[in-house]
Structure 1
Amino acid sequence: MHDSRRVDNHSPCGLSHLDDDYLGVHTQATAEGLEWREYETERATPSIRLKHSLRIVRICSSDTEKPSPQRRTPFCLLMLSISRSSLWLTLGHNCRLAGICGDMVAVLGETTGHLALMKLRDRMKNDPEGYTILTERPRIRLSTLDLAHMATLPDGSFGREYLRFLEENRVTPDSRADVKFVDNEELAYVMQRYREVHDLLHTLLGMPTNMLGEVAVKWFEAAQTGLPMCIMGAALGPLRLSSSRLQTLATSLGPWALRSGRRARCVLSIFYERRWDQSLEDLRKELDIEPPPLIISATNKKPAANSEPAS
């Protein structure tokens, strides 16, 4: 068995080889730059191909195996971009075949979001509350939440409404995967924080976890964070909506989500763990988030107009 992670110093781009005998797959970079060749045996099932793609993305995204500065010619940089794009497409295809979409979303989000994560980190550093979060690095897990206390809070408080969201949609904060493909420790935490506040955004926006609610939240996140996977989700999510719900998104929820996402305070800079007692209405006003124009049930019932006017 060969070393599965070794750098070819003879390649003009300093690219990595991936040699895995048990998968029957060998990926190599030629002397011309970056020509990926994959040899797959008949035993390579979709699940195996997915694992292979994950390993390739890990190598291409690792700071420890990037080409040395003297080898980063314009040609090599161009081919690296093309190769990584093809790897992301391959990963998506293999994930669809294997039926494991959660892993794909996590990997693509981490390997495509470097620039957006740096901007989000800078926004957090320039906010006193956000800076405290970056310093203390709190986690939102069942082990860190006092659900019993939340249950005693009055209706309309942020903590009580968040608990209601978890119960009605049968979700748990522990379902958020740990970040694996972001090498910078601080940026990795920013990505982790983004994942763990996702359900809190559902509560702030009043959106359930059905397809329409998820797409509306993705439109907000795309405008708020600039993360490529949020933009991709906002663009592709509507393809899975019915015609009536697509109309609701286009005429009501979509414009509201984009408008709120663009003008709201950085949602990663809020120490939500210290805001459970605050009313949801006050927190929305503080963040400059409009109340939702429609009340969407967690089921597939038709959305109802919100009697509360949007500010």
Structure 2
Amino acid sequence: MLRGKATVAAIQPRRTFVLASILSLGQLVVGREARLADAMARGELHNKNEDYKAKQEQEQEARLQSLRNTRPSAPRYEGHVPLWWHEKALLFGISGLRSFFHPENGINIVQLGEATAVPCFLESLRRTMLSDVTGRRILREQPNISEPDLDMDKLAQLPTNTLGHTFYRWLRKEGVTPDTRAPVTYIDDPVHAYIFKRYRQCHDFYHAITGLPIIIEGEIAVKALEAANIGVPMAALGALLAPLRLRPRQRERLRNVYLPWAIETGLSAKPLINVYWEELLEHDVDQLRAELGIRVPPDLRLLRQEQLQRHRSFKMKYESFEK
């Protein structure tokens, strides 16, 4: 009996050793096959000459060419995605509906802006820039507006009455940054693409110099200003259609105060697309407003708060009168 138990005890370690050996051998074989497959994919086995690398490059170029053949033209600048006319129409329809029902989604606004940036508008804007000394220089130098380019730490140290500090203070108050502006994608002409990029990047300066916040009413007012001043189609659509989704008090404020201000200021001010904002950061902001012909509208947040307090006060008096 003891002998039988000893035999079983001796067999069990051997079985464990055999199973472990088989498992290790299997892992070795599978691992070796995987490494061989990776090496073959990299051309390190059987194809150690330059022909294999050239073949890989040819195959990659063929795939890229196949993708290019599905587009109406080759990309003309970094990030450019050429679209067929029916794709542009579809982009306009879908982004327009999404912008109306979900204006809080910036992607919808970005796509609608490019879908409505027709060549005749962009060419008109180009002529406006070419007719001005500063505008021509902007087109030639093609500056970029971003936090590193502007040096936000330096702006924070400027006197409070300068454009730079006003811009810095507005960005921090609203919790936004110029770095969030999306690159241009669907505009075909490279010069037109830069002009639209410039307009898009200068949008925050329009907010800062007018003091309008990024709440929906402030955005509509700035869009109306852009439409009147430089004729941006998407801005005109936004100023006309976006108020339809607002509450009556919001529409009343826009109708009575901010839309008349935006149209009057936009038509009388100098073309804002020709302003080299980066070179004016140390200028007195009030003097700059006077030079550009921009009149500051009433403080939107303060006006909203005052009207809300009056409404609540009237409501309380009405309820107490009923009692």
TM-score by length of 1: 0.68
CA contact under 8 A between 1:91 and 1:104: conserved in structure 2?
yes
Which residue of structure 2 aligns with residue 137 of structure 1? 142
Q: Does 1:88 align with 2:112?
A: no
Q: How does 1:38-57 map to 2 (within 5 A)?
A: none
Q: Does 1:111 align with 2:115?
A: yes
Structure 1: runs of 5 or more not aligned: 8-14, 17-56, 62-79, 305-311
Identity %: 33
Q: Does 1:234 align with 2:245?
A: no
Cα 1:215–1:302, aligned 2, differ >3 Å: closer, same or farther? farther
Which residue of structure 1 aligns with residue 268 of structure 2? 263
CA contact under 8 A between 2:82 and 2:188: conserved in structure 1?
no
Q: Does 1:169 align with 2:174?
A: yes
TM-score by length of 2: 0.66
Q: Does 1:60 align with 2:84?
A: yes
Q: Does 1:121 align with 2:154?
A: no
Task: Report how far residue 299 of structure 1 moved.
Answer: 10
CA contact under 8 A between 1:209 and 1:298: conserved in structure 2?
no
Cα 1:209–1:99, aligned 2, differ >3 Å: closer, same or farther? closer
Cα 1:140–1:214, aligned 2, differ >3 Å: closer, same or farther? same
CA contact under 8 A between 2:91 and 2:111: conserved in structure 1?
no
User: Greater helix percent: which structure?
Assistant: 2
Question: What is the rounded CA distance, in whole Å, between the counterparts of 1:282 and 1:219 in structure 2?
Answer: 23
SS state of the match for residue 265, structure 1?
Answer: coil
SS state of the match for residue 297, structure 1?
Answer: helix
CA displacement 1:101-120 (0-9 Å, x = unmatched):
43332222223212211111
Q: Does 1:191 align with 2:206?
A: no
Q: Does 1:102 align with 2:106?
A: yes
CA contact under 8 A between 1:130 and 1:270: conserved in structure 2?
yes
Which residue of structure 1 aligns with residue 257 of structure 2? 252
Which residue of structure 2 aligns with residue 206 of structure 1? 211
Cα 1:103–1:237, aligned 2, differ >3 Å: closer, same or farther? same
Question: What is the rounded CA distance, in whole Å, between the counterparts of 2:292 and 2:103 in structure 1?
Answer: 38
Cα 1:249–1:299, aligned 2, differ >3 Å: closer, same or farther? closer
Question: What is the rounded CA distance, in whole Å, between the counterparts of 1:99 and 1:284 in structure 2?
Answer: 29
Question: What is the rounded CA distance, in whole Å, between the counterparts of 1:251 and 1:138 in structure 2?
Answer: 38
Cα 1:165–1:229, aligned 2, differ >3 Å: closer, same or farther? same
Cα 1:91–1:151, aligned 2, differ >3 Å: closer, same or farther? closer
Structure 2: runs of 5 or more not aligned: 1-62, 73-80, 309-323
Which residue of structure 1 aligns with residue 305 of structure 2? 301
Question: What is the rounded CA distance, in whole Å, between the counterparts of 2:193 and 2:302 in structure 1?
Answer: 31
CA contact under 8 A between 1:210 and 1:298: conserved in structure 2?
no
